[in-house]
């Protein structure tokens, strides 16, 4: 991708930026998301190199097997998953996993992708 220039002030703008950092003017980029101009600024584009995960699968795993951190392992957060396993006996991971699973299921795909650093499939 080539660089963009703000149509308002002429400042060079990163192709990833949704708006000019200089004047805040929205920049018409080659966005694949089809996000209309005027949306909240600062929404990163989906990382095409992020691992592809299913939001629903992660949510169900969190609810059913959250006590063992299976949803964390699924999302590639192995270190966190291990912590869930270590504290399994306290039942706290099960509660956190249940809540996280519900959050995943109620989140939209974009929020989930942004927070988890994945591509939603």
Q: Which of 8, 50, 77, 103 binds Zn ion (CB under 5 A)?
A: 8
User: Rounded distance, CA 67 to CA 97, Å?
Assistant: 6
User: Rounded distance, CA 73 to CA 100, Å?
Assistant: 14
Distant-in-sequence contacts of 11-16, Cβ < 8 A, 24+ apart: 16/44, 16/45
61 scored as a contact of Zn ion (CB under 5 A) = no
Closer CB to Zn ion, residue 20 or residue 75? 20
Site for Zn ion in 18-47 (CB under 5 A): 20, 22-23, 25
Report CA-CA distances (Å) from 80 to 15, 47, 74.
33, 22, 11
9 scored as a contact of Zn ion (CB under 5 A) = yes
77 scored as a contact of Zn ion (CB under 5 A) = no
- Total residues contacting Zn ion by CB under 5 A comes to 8
Contact residues: Zn ion, CB under 5 A: 6, 8-9, 11, 20, 22-23, 25
């Amino acid at each position: 991708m080539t660089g963009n220039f703000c149509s308002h002030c002429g400042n060079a703008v990163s192709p990833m930026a949704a708006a000019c950092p200089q004047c805040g003017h929205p920049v018409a980029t080659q966005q694949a998301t089809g996000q209309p101009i005027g949306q909240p600024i600062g929404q990163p584009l989906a990382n095409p190199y992020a691992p592809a995960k299913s939001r629903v699968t992660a949510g169900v795993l969190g609810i059913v097997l959250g006590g063992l951190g299976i949803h964390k392992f699924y999302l590639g957060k192995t270190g966190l998953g291990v912590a869930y396993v270590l504290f399994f006996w306290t039942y706290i991971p099960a509660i956190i996993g249940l809540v996280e699973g519900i959050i995943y299921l109620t989140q939209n795909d974009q929020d989930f992708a942004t927070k988890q650093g994945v591509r939603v499939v």
